[in-house]
Amino acid sequence: MARYFNDVSRTFNEYLLIPGLTTKECVPSNVSLKTPLVKFKKGETAKLELNIPFVSAVMQSVSDHKMAIALAKNGGLSFIFGSQPIETQAEMVRKVKKHKAGFVVSDANLTPENTLADVLAIKKATGHSTIGITHDGTSNGKLLGIVTSRDYRTNKDSLDKKIKDFMTPFSKLITGELGITLTEANDVIWDHKLNTLPIIDKDQNLQYFVFRKDYDEHKENPNELLDANKKLLVGAGINTRDYKERVAKLVEAGVDLLCIDSSDGFSEWQKETIEYIKKEYNGEVLVGAGNVVDKDGFLYLVNAGADFIKVGIGGGSICITREQKGIGRGQATALIEVAEARDEYFRETGIYVPICSDGGIVQDYHMVLALAMGADFLMMGRYFARFDESPTKVLKVGNNYVKEYWGEGSNRARNWQRYDMGGSEALKFEEGVDSYVPYAGKMKDNLDITLGKIVSTMCSCGALTIEELKQNAKITLVSSTSIIEGGAHDVILKDTNI
C-alpha cells in the first residue's frame, strides 16, 4: 500500500515570523551572516564558509564566471553551470581563480596591427574600455601599449586606423612588476594619478591590470569570499553522466566545491558519483548533492558522503517538474523535515551536514523564513538572473526592461543530464520554461537592500547569528485572509507616476 503523508505540503508564503525580544545588542551592525558551506565535526569549523548565506543556481542564464566573481566579492558563491562543454566550464573556473582581489587578468587584448573597428568590437563584447596591446593579442603576451577611450574619437578617427597609430605606447606607461602587493600597486596609482596600472613580469609580459576604481570597490566589499591564497572561491555544477572527465578538469582548474545538479537527487546515480569522487580524490574534493525533499533522501546522500544537501523539487519559478510529473513537495514542508533529519543526524554522529534551500523564494522575507526553518544557505536563480552580472542581455519588451531567464530543463538549455533517470535517452520532455525577469541593475545595489532586510528581521527576532535564528525563531501559520491583511488594503494608492 502506498505511504501517505497527511500533513499539508506548505510554502513559505503560508508562514510569518513572530518577533522575539530585541535587546540593545540586536542592531544590524552586530549581526553575522556567516554560515557553513560543507560538513564538519562537532567542535570544529567547516573547511568552507560563506560570509552571506547565498549561492547562485547552476543555470546557463545565471552562473558564469562574471556572476561568480561578483558574488564572491560580496561574500557568496556561484556554481558555474555544467550544461556546457567540459573545457569551457573549466575555463570559467580558471578565470575566477585568476581574478585575484584587485589583480585582474585582461580579457580584452589586441595587437598593434588591429584597427579601431576591432577596439570598438571588443569593447562591445566585453564591456571593458581598457585594452591591453600585446605582441600576439593574448592576455599574457609582451606588453606594447594600452588603449583606453581617451586614445581615440569615433566621430573623427577612421575605423580602419591602426592601433599602433593611436595607442599609448609602452615607453609612456608606468607599470608595476609582478610580485608587487596590492597596497603598493594602489600607492603607485595614487602617486601618479593613474586610472590603470599594468603589472608585467621581468620579460615585459602582461600579467594583470590594477584599476583605480577597484580600490574603492575593494573597500566596499569587506565580505569577499577568499581562499588561503587570497583568490576568490568558486563552485561548479556536475552531472552523473560525464563526471569522471568533468571533475578531473574542474579540479585541475582550481574549483573549490562541486555540486551534483539534478532535479531529483535520491538516486543510485548520485550515490555512485559521490563515492567515485571521494575515492578518486582521497576525500579532498568537496561535493554537494540533491535535490531531496524528505528524511530518507537526506540520509541516503549523507551516507554516500555528500558534503552538503540541497532541498527542493519543483519550487523554482521556471520549474514545471510538479506540473509535468506530479513530483515534489511544498518548499517549507520539505525544508522543515530535512532540517529535523539533519539535526537528528548531528546529535547521533557529531557530524553537521549543511542544507541548502533551493527554490520557493518569492519575497525577501522568505529568505529569513528559510533560514529560520533550518537552511544554512539559499540557492537562487531568478533573484540573480535580474542583475547586470548574469550572462544574458538586457532587452526591452513593451515598455519594460527585462533579462532572459530559462530553466535547465527547458528545450533551450537542453540540459537533460539534470533530469537523467538512467537507461534510454529517447524519452525526453521539458521540466522548465523559457521566460523573462524584470531587469534590476547592479547586483551589489540590490543585494545590499536584501541583506539589510534580512539583518533587520533577525534583530526583530532577537537573533545575531543564523544559528541563533534557527534555535530561537518563532514561526506561525497564516490564513489566506491574514495574507491579505499583511499588504496594503482598504486604501486608494497614489499613482506615483503622475
Residue for grid cell 575593494: 218
98 in Cβ contact with 65 (< 8 Å): no
Query: HSE on the CB side for 79, CA within 13 Å?
Result: 29
CA distance linking residue 405 with residue 53, whole number of Å: 22
Is 241 designated active site?
no
Phi, psi of 48 (to 5 degrees): -125, 135
H or E element: which one contains 382?
helix 382-385
Q: Which of 329, 418, 459, 461 is catalytic?
A: 418
Cell reading at 392: 544574458
Q: Is 432 left (phi over 0), alpha (psi -120 to 50) or beta?
A: beta
Contacts (Cβ under 8 Å, ≥6 apart) of 305: 274, 275, 278, 283, 287
Q: Is 259 a catalytic residue?
A: no
| Secondary structure (3-state) at 352 | strand
User: 255, 279 in Cβ contact below 8 A?
Assistant: no
Q: Quick check: 131 and 122 in contact, CB under 8 A?
A: yes
Number of Cβ within 10 Å of residue 458's Cβ equals 28
Q: Which among 120, 92, 66, 72 is positioned nearest to 392, based on CA atoms?
A: 66
In sequence order, what are the residues at sequence separation of 6 or more whose Cβ sits closer than 8 angstroms to the Cβ of residue 427?
A: none
Catalytic member of 319, 356, 459, 461: 319
Cis peptide leading into residue 13 (ω within 30°): no
CB 65 within 8 A of CB 89: no
Looking at the annotation, which residues are catalytic? 319, 418
